[in-house]
Chain A
């Protein structure tokens, strides 16, 4: 299973953009990049996913490097509610599609 590497923790100020990096140098051509986040005392929550092109949704944007060996989750204006552990996951639908979670990045947001 391909692995991802993320910083253990990051800090942000409220209402500022946040860029959460993820390295996945062993990504295969059929791996999708998924992001989930886990707020305290809750189960993980889907954020966004992509394959090759940058993606936007109401929660965040996903920027994928041209060689796909890294990606960045962008929260455009962090709020206190965005404080969570963010997981970058490679999901290969040809291998059953199971989610292999790494350790994630714990994001703290300061008012």
Chain B
């Protein structure tokens, strides 16, 4: 069974640009949640999508957005990039929504560097 796939694995952008990251969950999983990991703030929850609907959102500005497609693949977008957006962005796949006891399966992440 294939795991969670995140693309691209590495990317470099400059301030002011925008970026789109992709996450393909495990086949059959309908929940995708996104996290930002930085050395200073650790792992922080961004948002969760379940069956194409955003069900939960963390405390991030509106520059961070996402969506989920009918095949459960998800994308997150960050507009007007700032230096502080440099981070490892992780997505997690679940067979049910976050509001269940099920375990989550994480991808290896997309490492974004903003110059």
Contact = CB atoms under 8 A, between A and B. Distances in A.
Contacts of B45: 98-101
A7 interface: no
A98 B55 CA distance: 10
Interface residues of B, number: 25
Contacts of B48: 96, 98
Contacts of A43: 4, 90, 92, 106-109
Interface of B: 4, 33, 35, 42-45, 48, 55-56, 58, 90, 92, 97-101, 103-109
Interface in A20-52: 32, 36, 41-46, 49
B97 A97 contact: yes
Interface string A70-111: 000000000000000001000001111111111110000000
B99 A101 contact: no
Determine the interface band of chain A, counting residues with CB < 8 A from chain B. 20 to 34
Contacts of A44: 43, 90, 92, 104, 106
B101 A49 contact: yes
A44 B100 CA distance: 18
A42 B108 contact: yes
Closest 4 CB pairs of A and B: A43-B106, A97-B98, A97-B99, A101-B43
B108 A97 contact: no
A78 B97 CA distance: 32
A99 B36 CA distance: 12
A32 B99 CA distance: 11
